[in-house]
A and B are shown apart, each in its own frame.
Chain A
């Protein structure tokens, strides 16, 4: 890794005042080996912004869980062609998927919960990919889930996926943006988007775990709707710590 370890806490207070484009520009200027995580949904705005800032430095990867909608596969291909970029489509470990399906079937997530399947189909390949980079950029936003994303910073030290004795920096340039701002950007910049959005899908994930949402429903309600809202169990409440 070429860069020294960043003080992400101090930087976050600075970067969180910046626009997504400024955050992406900072990220691309600071790291040579940096990749954008593209889910095949509205996070395409990250690719559009990065492409305008520095088209030669756009490294993109997508997690193909094997259970995405056909529309999402078509969209990933459309984005690849539209921007003329390589998209590294990463896959889960076939042995792990095979074992899960053999033991629990193809729809175990409806009976247990989605975490076992997600950990095999998403987290495993994500970790493999992130071991190869020094920084990554996500489309995570605070308004996506009131329960789990309320404190997403613009920049963070990603301890979960860092290589041993090394650091990994995670940028969330859209953290402060609302869904409405993202869609205003998509429309005003003629950014291509996943056709599922026109069918009522707000949040797009795997086909069995995603459904369209109705007026007034939060986008989280379109994902894993059969499960109760997850609660963050193990955070040490900052209010108490600071007292």
Chain B
């Protein structure tokens, strides 16, 4: 299995806030050890490796994870806690999961 993490650099050259938060969480939890490759999706450069991967898999948010297993189509994970639970088989806090869902889907607060 190969896991690729794609982080986004915004138009102003800074790392996207969520990418930063996810990376910090992953480092604190020792999860970066499971990541084989980290690619940058630089919004200023459509040919940057992360942007190319985003285009290939039609991903529209960052960070995202590409999980490749032998003989199987690549899996794309855009929800960090689901990636942690379903790919890394680790536990997550419900409070953090719910916050992530709302942060990723700001339109939900109108529901």
Contact = CB atoms under 8 A, between A and B. Distances in A.
A238 B41 CA distance: 12
A145 B111 contact: no
B107 A152 contact: yes
A236 B111 contact: no
A205 interface: yes
B55 to A, nearest CB: 5
Given A114-B109, A144-B110, A236 B79 contact: no
A60 to B, nearest CB: 13
Contacts of A224: 109
Contacts of A230: 106
A224 B102 CA distance: 15
Interface string B69-108: 0000000001100100110000000110011011111111
Contact of A124 (B41, B78, B98, B107): B98
Contact of A234 (B17, B98, B102): B17
- What is the size category of the interface that chain A forms with chain B? 35 or more
Contact of B59 (A118, A144, A160, A236): A236
B16 A234 contact: yes
Contacts of B17: 233-234
Given A114-B109, A159-B79, A236 B60 contact: yes
Nearest to A209: B109
A241 B41 CA distance: 9
A228 to B, nearest CB: 13
Contact of A148 (B16, B18, B107): B107
Contact of A119 (B78, B98, B107): B98
Contacts, number: 108
A115 B103 contact: yes
Nearest to B16: A234
A243 B46 contact: yes
A235 B86 CA distance: 23
Given A160-B104, A234-B16, 18 more contacts: A37-B111, A116-B99, A118-B109, A126-B111, A127-B98, A140-B107, A145-B107, A159-B78, A160-B105, A164-B82, A223-B109, A234-B8, A234-B104, A236-B41, A236-B59, A240-B43, A241-B51, A242-B55
Interface of A: 9, 37, 39, 63, 96, 114-116, 118-120, 122-124, 126-127, 138, 140, 144-145, 147-149, 152, 159-161, 164-165, 203, 205, 223-224, 230, 232-238, 240-243
11 contacts: A119-B95, A119-B99, A140-B111, A145-B107, A148-B106, A223-B110, A233-B103, A234-B16, A237-B11, A240-B51, A241-B46
